[in-house]
Amino acid sequence: MSGTELKIQDLVIGEGREIAKGALVQVNYEGRLDDGTVFDSSAAKGRPFQFVFGTGRVIRGWDLGLVGMRVGGRRELFVPANLAYGERKIGNKIPANSNLSFVVELLEVLTRDE
């Protein structure tokens, strides 16, 4: 992958609740480098990943790329370096200026009124 544009591909269209800014969401995901190397996976950690959506708690490519997704959906995101970690190297797994790809499955969306 190259370029500076976020690419989004729905693999499965979810039919559940739509993701919303400020909601606590739970996802399963796998992240890969351009060469196909898996650098992170919720399955490898043995539990889904939770975060508050739309508040800058994750890389910008996720905050932009998960908009409109519904529970039960699976989406592939091609995140250019400028919407990921940019010039920062992340540990020993993600080199600086890396484009990343993710497959994200939306498991749950909890809003404040629940």
Using CA atoms, how far apart are residues 37 and 13, in angstroms rounded to an integer?
Answer: 26
Q: Is 10 a catalytic residue?
A: no
Q: Is 8 a catalytic residue?
A: no
Q: Which of 19, 59, 78, 94 is catalytic?
A: 59
Using CA atoms, how far apart are residues 70 and 23, in angstroms rounded to an integer?
Answer: 12
Q: Is 29 a catalytic residue?
A: yes
CB 73 within 8 A of CB 18: no
Q: Which of 19, 53, 78, 85 is catalytic?
A: 85
Which residues touch 85 (CB under 8 Å, ≥6 apart)?
59, 94, 96, 98
Q: Is 94 a catalytic residue?
A: no
Q: Which of 40, 49, 63, 90 is catalytic?
A: 40
Q: Is 90 a catalytic residue?
A: no
Q: Which of 39, 51, 63, 90 is catalytic?
A: 39
Q: Which of 53, 78, 94, 102 is catalytic?
A: 102
Catalytic residues: 29, 39-40, 59, 85, 102
